[in-house]
Chain A
């Protein structure tokens, strides 16, 4: 074996360890049993242990001589710091932390009792336990640690009693033991001048970051050696006594103690992380300290620390930015870029833990959750939304939290809530996703479709890809369509008209198709457009036109319109003729003024298959295109009756036609036609208005508006009420038209996009031309 150079600390440490293993007191050979136990306590994987044993020569010799033992210990330290095991590394690795061994529980307890047993006993008791690693610090900072060590020796006794207290502020973290030790803070503090612990800590703080994952070889439960920083050992013992299960945690705790000291000097006190029940729990003293620090930054305890201030503060901890960034992510619960008191405490706690060598968890431990952090026994008060999001977000991957929830007895409820929260957050997410699924829409359609058997009108099912107002409106529209006696129902219904109903039916047909074909793009766009008309119209459009490349959901039931440009009109006729009678008062007027439904053919439009019921209306209107009184359709059909209807119908018809054409053509249809007929229709818009179809509605609205104009005078002459009604209707028409307009524009955009994508696909499909 090559020569092994050990630092003083290492020498001492190894010597102690050897004595510990030297059960037979041979001073030469460490018993294999003890050695193996020791190595097991090192928490290294078995193969690593085997490798170590092989490297140190023990396997060759068959036993652990002193040199082999030392070499093995050094290799353990190497392995624990994550470096590859090499013989060369024995001497080349500088500043290697002492190997860390997690002592078994009994040992720890014994140590613990030893610790508790007062200062005097401490030194004595220590001999019985595995000697704690000599000040790690020393490994890192020679001179300083020496100083501190010396100081420590002097203050040994006291230190043992008042462990952590030293660094002025950092109170011991561990619950019981710590607290106990805290009782003697004054003693310890006095003994230990700040300078002492200061430099002492400083090395720790340096050491910690330096060997992030590894290293501080903390002998859990090792009693503070005389020269050892008592508080350090303190840290060791309490953890061990408390909760052995978390060996890494306890180890961390111990390191935390040490780092606490350094923290103070570096202007950050690192509280020892945690109680032993839960390594992440914040103790009273710790919390108090954090609160004080919070106050220095932000006097208002209920206020926030802005991100920049927090950044400066935590940068002082000398942790790498990446880790600070991660800590921030963990602790900023509400992701608002600022830290509340709870968040700040959590962040501070994590920083302390990290400085002590604790690995940062992937997700925030429960004890650090905002509002869950409590002094002692935190009553879990999960911030449901935050936790949910946190768990949802952070906890996506099953990150191994260093403080497994199960380990914290105080947080049982939290454990339960977490999965719920997780679930809820996920559900919450899925909900939103689902909401936009076409499935909803199609179902929608089917529900609505068989709306009005009487009138044989297929109610325009406002099939919206995404649930939206429009949807609701459309639904309502549909309903109103059947009744259509809702002059007041905004937009939805230009209620009463027959044409409306017809339109609705046709639009219904459209919508199913639209929704299906249009896929989500249009629906999405529709979503934004609250106008139901638009939605229905777009539906139709997309439906009719698109189909090809849309992976649309299964077409809703009544889909006739694709083919029924002509037929629809017929249907409209049929329905229209039927509806008039059934429609309410307003409708009544239609039949007389508007030529019978069958006319659909009349309008050029009808063939455009205005899926919208408008067709029916159109039929009417077609006959008397311009005669239709302008009065607003929905409001007051009774007044305008015939001509209103006819006018509206016509307009709608045309509009519908054009729209449907546009829809179907998917980009091939020039949009020019629609505008034209629309204008024409406007006059008869009133009548057209009843169409609730999106598509037709749009056009209808326009038509209605126009229609209403001329009709107004008539109404005046007829009836005062009619005027008011017509005014109201006009207003409604206006809004409807406006919405229709925007919807149409949106549809246009979508259609163009679809067209482009279709063309691209077409090109791709063409076998040889473009390859």
Chain B
């Protein structure tokens, strides 16, 4: 089970959400939404001066019985959230980090596309392919 979401500020509406097992998607939507609060809390807690030191990777946002939520925020406050199964113990922190890195890279590629208006839903095929392949690796 893997769900990844990209939310953009300021209203934090999702630009892109993809989950591998497509059932229960609504529940993941909800989870992601609630985790946005945690993300906000983390980045606000970092403080103004620490922006540089603040890591883009936020780590485990909060674990629940069923799944864990990881967060990542870019310098432009675009948030990436990933929900993975708790049963998926094979996923290490570093792998999550690398996944976020890939997501971030693909996201910047999308941004470079002049035909993409920031704030639009992400409909790039290349991005979809990347996300799919990434999720396939995990699941």
CA distance A570 to B60 in the complex (A): 39
19 residue pairs from A and B, CB less than 8 Å apart: A306-B114, A311-B115, A322-B123, A328-B114, A329-B110, A330-B126, A335-B108, A337-B112, A337-B113, A394-B126, A396-B133, A397-B129, A429-B102, A438-B94, A524-B94, A524-B97, A757-B59, A757-B60, A764-B65
- For the complex, is B98 an interface residue (Cβ under 8 Å from A)? yes
Is B125 touching A432 in the complex (CB atoms < 8 A)?
no
Chain A contact-residue range equals: 35 or more
Chain A residues near B63 (CB, 8 Å)? 757, 760-761, 764
Is B59 touching A753 in the complex (CB atoms < 8 A)?
yes
Of all A-B residue pairs in the complex, the 6 with the closest CB atoms, nearest first, are A307-B114, A396-B133, A337-B112, A325-B115, A311-B114, A397-B129
Given A324-B115, A429-B98: 5 more A-B contacts, CB < 8 Å = A336-B112, A436-B97, A437-B92, A438-B94, A524-B94
Chain B residues near A764 (CB, 8 Å)? 63-65
Contact for B94 among A326, A330, A433, A760, CB less than 8 A = A433
Is B112 touching A520 in the complex (CB atoms < 8 A)?
no
Contact for B92 among A310, A520, A757, CB less than 8 A = A520
Is B114 touching A397 in the complex (CB atoms < 8 A)?
no
- For the complex, is B106 an interface residue (Cβ under 8 Å from A)? yes
- For the complex, is B13 an interface residue (Cβ under 8 Å from A)? no
| B50 nearest CB neighbor, chain A only | A749
Chain B residues near A310 (CB, 8 Å)? 114
CA distance A314 to B113 in the complex (A): 13
| A311 nearest CB neighbor, chain B only | B114
Chain A residues near B57 (CB, 8 Å)? 524
| A433 nearest CB neighbor, chain B only | B98
Contact with B along A298-334 (1 / 0, CB 8 A): 0000000011101100100000011011101110100
Chain A residues near B22 (CB, 8 Å)? none
CA distance A396 to B94 in the complex (A): 21
CB distance from A753 to the nearest CB of B (A): 7
Chain A residues near B94 (CB, 8 Å)? 433, 436-438, 520, 524
- For the complex, is A127 an interface residue (Cβ under 8 Å from B)? no
CB distance from B113 to the nearest CB of A (A): 5
- For the complex, is B109 an interface residue (Cβ under 8 Å from A)? yes
- For the complex, is B93 an interface residue (Cβ under 8 Å from A)? yes
Where chain A touches its partner, the secondary structure class is helix
Write the residues of chain B forming the contact surface with A, with a CB cutoff of 8 angstroms.
55, 57, 59-60, 62-65, 92-95, 97-98, 102, 106, 108-110, 112-116, 123-126, 129-130, 132-133
Contact with B along A270-314 (1 / 0, CB 8 A): 000000000000000000000000000000000000111011001
| B65 nearest CB neighbor, chain A only | A764
| A551 nearest CB neighbor, chain B only | B92
CA distance A520 to B59 in the complex (A): 10
CA distance A330 to B113 in the complex (A): 10
| B125 nearest CB neighbor, chain A only | A326
Contact for A520 among B62, B93, B116, B126, CB less than 8 A = B93
Is B115 touching A393 in the complex (CB atoms < 8 A)?
no
| A337 nearest CB neighbor, chain B only | B112
* B92, B106, B130: most-surrounded residue (chain A CB, <10 A): B92
Contact for B113 among A328, A519, A524, A761, CB less than 8 A = A328
- For the complex, is A521 an interface residue (Cβ under 8 Å from B)? yes
Contact for B115 among A328, A394, A397, A525, CB less than 8 A = A328
CA distance A393 to B132 in the complex (A): 12
CB distance from B9 to the nearest CB of A (A): 21
CA distance A757 to B133 in the complex (A): 30
- For the complex, is A377 an interface residue (Cβ under 8 Å from B)? no
* B65, B92, B94: most-surrounded residue (chain A CB, <10 A): B94
| B102 nearest CB neighbor, chain A only | A429
Is B126 touching A329 in the complex (CB atoms < 8 A)?
yes
| B131 nearest CB neighbor, chain A only | A396
- For the complex, is A399 an interface residue (Cβ under 8 Å from B)? yes
Chain B residues near A760 (CB, 8 Å)? 62-63
